[in-house]
Amino acid sequence: MSAVIPIHAGSGCSDAPVLKERGQREVFCGLTGIIWLHRKMQDAFFLVVGSRTCAHLIQSAAGVMIFAEPRFATAILDERDLAGLADAQDELDRVVKRLLERRPDIRLLFLVGSCPSEVIKLDLSRAASRLSQQFMPQVRVLNYSGSGIETTFTQGEDACLAALVPVLPVSMQQQAPELLIVGALADVVEDQFSRLFNAMGLKQFAFFPSRSSTALPAIGPQTRFLLAQPFLGDTAKALEARGARRVASPFPLGAEGTTAWMQAAGAAVGLSAATVDQAITPARQRAELALAAHREQLQGKSIFFFPDSQLELPLARFLSRELGMTLTEVGTPYLHRQHLAEELAWLPAGTLLSEGQDVEKQLDRCRAARPDVVVCGLGLANPLEAEGFTTKWSIELVFTPIQGFEQAGDLAGLFTRPLTRRQLLAA
């Protein structure tokens, strides 16, 4: 059962019909989650077991410089491995051993499958268990799938954190509710949230994933977890299976969303709304002031969301309610009604919602709507720009710190800048 904070009297889009499409998709694969996860977990390493194509994707998407010492790599499978002619287990053991000898700072090693096990002919779950027994307690080895066949790109984080939940320590001394913030956040955002929690008088809180694998948060029946990202369905299910309870809330985007999120955090551990409001009011006022200038440029502009990151509904709510934009269509790869219930309630009634994708049909609807801004993946952005549309890359909204009060103005700026660029080019 979830702790619930009522936030809205109307129904919004709570019962709105959803257009469900199943066809050709234009999405990145879950491997791209490594790009922000390897920066967050500072003693973890991500070893992608896949082809040279996967290696090129990670290298290109991350923009790794030649002198960098990243915490990810690729164990490349060639034709002999894929055909089952080579002993892939022995080769994987050799690569892992060499890696750990070269990088003694690694404490947590993820084996990331780039394809289903039926394709790569290697059971990474069994391999991770075997290698973990071999290298523990110095190094823990876990695995998850980042396959683009099975996931969209943000689901890579969900799969990673869900794999980590079973090894979280058990909290044996919880006497009162403790708060767990779930979802990878930029360090600057995490620090800002920590300061606000301390100002609220909230002492027992932790973040997951933590910056160090040796300081994993403990969980138990008194754990209340608050999602910071909307794409963590499997992680939430794994935490609930261990006795933790989800706190229902909108997501912390914009001044309004962050206020409701902070109020939900306080309510979950017994703080009064007045106590929370006193602590967050200065930050909220700064956020509202930062948004005012962007509202002048975005008020009345229309926006169309292609499904890509699962951030689409919270972003649409923020742009509609706080910046006055008109929503022509809000598409999302998967609509988790329970986790997004508060967001749905805050969307304008009559908003066209779509789940999944048939890209040609959605392109036709976008062309017919002629929105002022289109949020889409990299594969669609350039063709749409060539047709005269103003686009925003959805992946940039994942890479950029956008949560919280201090980032509200920056988040709005991600949508005003493409319009400004279009105006300058036209001039």
Planar angle of CA 318, 323, 328, nearest 5 degrees: 75
Residue 54 annotated in ligand binding: yes
Strand pairing partners for 112? 48, 144
Whether 19 contacts 262, CB under 8 Å: no
Instruction: Locate the DSSP E strands across 63-153.
Output: 72-76, 108-113, 140-145
Report whether 146 contacts 113 (CB < 8 A). Answer: yes
- The alpha carbon torsion through 140, 146, 147, 148 (nearest 10 deg) reads -170
Residue that is written with structure tokens 């502009």 in the block? 301
Secondary structure (3-state) at 54: helix
Q: Using an 8 Å Cβ cutoff, are 42 and 212 in contact?
A: yes
Task: Compute the distance between CA of residue 386 and CA of residue 369 in angstroms, rounded to an integer.
Answer: 17
R_g of the chain computed on alpha carbons = 22
Query: What are the backbone dihedrals phi and psi of residue 61, each rounded to the nearest 5 degrees, phi first?
Result: -65, -35
CA 229 from centroid of its chain's CA atoms: 5
Q: Put residue 12 in one of left, alpha, beta given phi > 0 → left and psi -120 to 50 → alpha.
A: left
Residue 376 marked as a ligand binder? no
Q: Retrieve residue 385's tokens.
A: 């720009």
Yes or no: say if 230 and 336 are a contact pair by the CB < 8 Å rule.
Answer: yes
Nearest to 312 by CA among 329, 324, 330: 330
Residue with the two structure tokens 């790794």 = 64
Q: Any binding-site annotation on 366?
A: no
Query: Rounded to 10 degrees, what is the CA torsion of 345, 346, 352, 357?
Result: -80
What are the beta bridge partners of residue 44? 108
Do the Cβ atoms of 351 and 312 come closer than 8 Å? no
Select from 113, 13, 78, 40 the least CA-distant residue to 329: 13
Point out the annotated binding site for [4Fe-4S] cluster. 29, 54, 115
Point out the annotated binding site. 29, 54, 115
